Amino acid sequence: MEPKPIFVLPLPFMLFSIHWFLLALHGSAAESSIYIVHMDKSLFPRVFTTHHDWFECIIDSTKSATLRHSSRQSQKLVYSYNQAMYGFSAVLTSEELAAVKNSLGFVAAYPDRTATIDTTHTFEFLSLDSSSGLWHASNFGEDVIVGVIDSGVWPENESFKDDGMTKKIPNKWKGICQEGQDFNTSICNFKLIGARYFNKGVIAANSKDKISMNSARDTAGHGTHTSSTVAGNYVGGASYFGYAKGVARGIAPRARLAMYKVIWDEGRVASDVMAGMDQAIADGVDVISISMGFDGVPLYEDPIAIASFAAMEKGVVVSSSAGNAGPDLGTLHNGIPWLLTVAAGTIDRTFGTLILGNGQTITGWTLFPANALVENFPLIYNKNTSACNSVKLLSKVAEEGIILCDSVSDPELIIKQRSYVNKASLLGAVFISDQPLENEEGHSRSPSIVISAQDAPSVIKYAKSQENPTASIKFQQTFVGIKSAPAVAGYSSRGPSPSYPGVLKPDIMAPGSNVLAAFIPHRVAAAIGTNVFLPSDYNILSGTSMACPHASGVAALLKAAHPEWSAAAIRSALVTTASPLDNTQSPIRDQGYRAQYASPLAIGAGQIDPNKALDPGLIYDATPQDYVNLLCALKYTQKQILTITRSASYNCAKPSFDLNYPSFIAFYSNKTRSGSHKFRRTVTNVGGGAATYRAKVTQPKGSVLTVSPEILTFRYKNEKLSYDVMINYSMYKKENISYGDLVWIEDGGAQRVRSPIVVAPGGIV
């Protein structure tokens, strides 16, 4: 392995940094920090009505007379406490802290501390950190083998160490650690048990090009990121330049990993992808995670569809990404009936704060890769100018303070604003936008922060009303528990599937925006200005590529907990237990259409819920022949079907569009604008024993949906019962899509088996 490069900051940047520091010192005569102060409740002065009044009086008494009469007087009190503790937290200088310590009733004070959260945090967001549930039932995915089809791996990253792994690899494993350029067989271990590379296709397509890294070593970072998300080991102190700091671990931290490199700097072709998946199946993997897809190809020409059929036959779960072409409908790839298709959602985490001179603190968004001193600078705002849309205008005020840019709704414009700010080398900038910065454009090259349109009026009011408004920007801060989350990412591709619209895709949504995971040290992970580029062993990336390995990891956990389940059963458990609600218990929102709730064409059944998937109550299973019956109904020729099945042992005796799938989608004619559709479904009782379930329906607008029978009574575990769904529908608004759900609710039990329903005009396909 080559040594890490040393990145030297050029002299202009060093001078620029010193300039920030000097201005920060000049702008703040005394540095302030947040302190937590404990007070003696028994000494509460009865002259005050509430303890809050007492604490405010204590803080006010610490301020100098000059500051008390200044327009820049800040609201120092952060919180008052009266239950868990008695006292307050406040922004105090060292002099003010000393004065507080001399106050009546003072007990103790100490600086506020940044909590260490467990990163990538997504496992916590998915409630996998509970004292019981899927993690523990699966022993963290122990000995399940996940094959990742991607751009390779950086094996030296700590996420791939084998500390804590059992020293006996499962006997079914037939793979190898393939030697290649800068990649020795000894690099593999009990975590990364296999690594292979496939580039014959790309070499054939580009015969004059030389492969720059002819091995399974990652030169893009994509494969390292996705594989560590699936099953990375525990790594303490991981962060992205101080953001999201904590203990990194994959969704299935005790699962084994095997990398199949098929993505190259020189290209990526279907033949290599097929070869990689083919080898993964032969090697004996349990789950395949593939964060890529092919657009505009029928199932019988799609290498992922073809290879995943073979995987499904052997009980291998294939988890795939929906694509990043949203929010338009019909942009999804991997809409393959026999695999899992995953959409991308946001998580409840953000970074950085804007602090106004009056003490108001606003949580915003920044990933500026340094702890810059942007403190108590003048806040500059002029509504009558468009300074942020011009490098020339910005340069004129570059050293005067923090620029407050006008609100923009066009996502392209905010990207331009950020670019202009970078080029102008500003001391600081505040952007206003509700457009999600969920992709790599959201990484900050300048000491800047984005605040929401909701928070903007108070900032603008302060900037316009004060004679000398000031502000500070705090970097390398991480906040979790942000509401509302998740929302479906605007970039996430939407159904219906062009390859086969008759199955509702995507299946589920998983965390995909701003995910922290392992990265490679030889690729730029961040930049400052236009000429400083920085590496990192961990990177924050966004995309359905990041969502897919979350679902792959959960599938690995389920495989460990239920080794007898088929790939269809695991997919069913994930779909019927997914949640359509965010952390405010409201329907999940759509960031592609800010005023709307997300439809199943964007999120499938909803956000993946691993612990509930462990015990789904009922499952919708399917056999390979069931999928062949669907191909027959599509009137695929015998040869076309054979390209997928590889065997003539299947027959077309019972062609049927009615696949036993855990969701429903029906299309009405654009001409008649009405119609009906009947579905037949069979569910298997995987609960503890006898159980009774009753149907509850939320009707799609314009439709009448009936279920027969409405009650399913199971006598024993693994019993199968069938029911029919009839949808009579009409176009309730011109070309509108409507959706609802069918939920089977267990009598006296906690099981709720939910299936999303979509009714849509045929023209959207």
Q: Which of 51, 222, 333, 550 is catalytic?
A: 222
pLDDT at 9: 37
Q: Are 289 and 304 contained in the same domain?
A: yes
Q: Are 191 and 98 contained in the same domain?
A: no
Q: Which of 346, 405, 355 is nearest to 381 (CA)?
A: 405
Q: Is residue 674 part of a domain?
A: yes
Alpha helices, H only, 206-343: 222-231, 270-283, 303-313
Does residue 545 carry a catalytic annotation? yes
What's the half-sphere exposure (Cβ side, CA atoms, 13 Å) at 196? 22
Residue 355 belongs to domain with CATH number: 3.50.30.30
Q: Are 162 and 298 contained in the same domain?
A: yes
Q: Are 269 and 403 contained in the same domain?
A: no
Return the H-helix or E-strand segment holding 735. none
Q: Is residue 228 part of a domain?
A: yes
Q: Which of 545, 579, 703, 738 is catalytic?
A: 545
pLDDT at 541: 92
Does residue 150 carry a catalytic annotation? yes
- Among 96, 111, 126, the domain-final residue is 111
Q: Are 654 and 667 contained in the same domain?
A: no
Residue 176 belongs to domain with CATH number: 3.40.50.200
- Rounded to whole angstroms, how far apart are CA atoms 149 and 211? 18
- Percentage, residues of the chain above pLDDT 70: 89
Q: Is residue 20 part of a domain?
A: no
Tell me which residues of the chain have a pLDDT lower than 50: 1-29, 65-74, 84, 113-119, 385, 438-440
Secondary structure (H, E, C), 626-693: HHHHHHHHCCCCHHHHHHHHCCCCCCCCCCCCCCCCCCEEEEECCCCCEEEEEEEEEEEECCCCCEEE
Q: Are 604 and 456 contained in the same domain?
A: no
Q: Is residue 192 part of a domain?
A: yes
Q: Are 577 and 499 contained in the same domain?
A: yes
First to last CA, the chain: 49
Q: Report the 10 Å Cβ neighbour count for 680.
A: 12
pLDDT at 750: 83
pLDDT at 734: 60
Q: Are 190 and 295 contained in the same domain?
A: yes
32-39 vs 106-111, strand pairing mode: antiparallel
Task: Report the domain count for the chain.
Answer: 5
Instruction: Give the Å distances, CA to CA, from 83 to 87, 115, 530, 765.
Output: 9, 20, 50, 57
pLDDT at 156: 97
What residue has token string 């953000």?
350
pLDDT at 706: 96
- Contact at 8 Å (CB) between 522 and 479? no
Q: Is residue 249 part of a domain?
A: yes
Q: Are 149 and 247 contained in the same domain?
A: yes
CA–chain centroid gap for 225, Å, is: 13
Q: Which of 355, 413, 415 is nearest to 379 (CA)?
A: 355
Q: Is residue 452 part of a domain?
A: yes
Identify the burial level of 128 via C-beta atoms within 10 angstroms of its C-beta, where 0-12 means exposed, 13-18 middle and 19 or more buried: buried
pLDDT at 731: 64
Does residue 33 carry a catalytic annotation? no
Q: Are 193 and 52 contained in the same domain?
A: no
Return the exposure string of 688-712: e unless at least 16 CB atoms fall within 10 Å of the residue's CB, then b: eeebebebebebbebbebebeeeeb
- Among 567, 582, 608, the domain-final residue is 608
Residue 37 belongs to domain with CATH number: 3.30.70
Q: Which of 470, 477, 475, 447 is nearest to 356 (CA)?
A: 470
Domain span holding position 687: 659-764
pLDDT at 110: 67
What's the half-sphere exposure (Cβ side, CA atoms, 13 Å) at 512? 34
Q: Is residue 522 part of a domain?
A: no
Angle between the N-to-C axes of helices 638-645 and 303-313, in degrees from 0 to 180, rounded to the nearest 10: 60
pLDDT at 7: 37
Q: Is residue 535 part of a domain?
A: no
- Rounded to whole angstroms, how far apart are CA atoms 342 and 494? 10
Residue 758 belongs to domain with CATH number: 2.60.40.2310
pLDDT at 186: 94
User: What type of residue sits at position 459?
Assistant: V
Q: Which of 51, 138, 143, 150 is catalytic?
A: 150
Q: Are 374 and 497 contained in the same domain?
A: no
Q: Are 148 and 254 contained in the same domain?
A: yes
pLDDT at 759: 92
pLDDT at 270: 86
- Contact at 8 Å (CB) between 375 and 27? yes
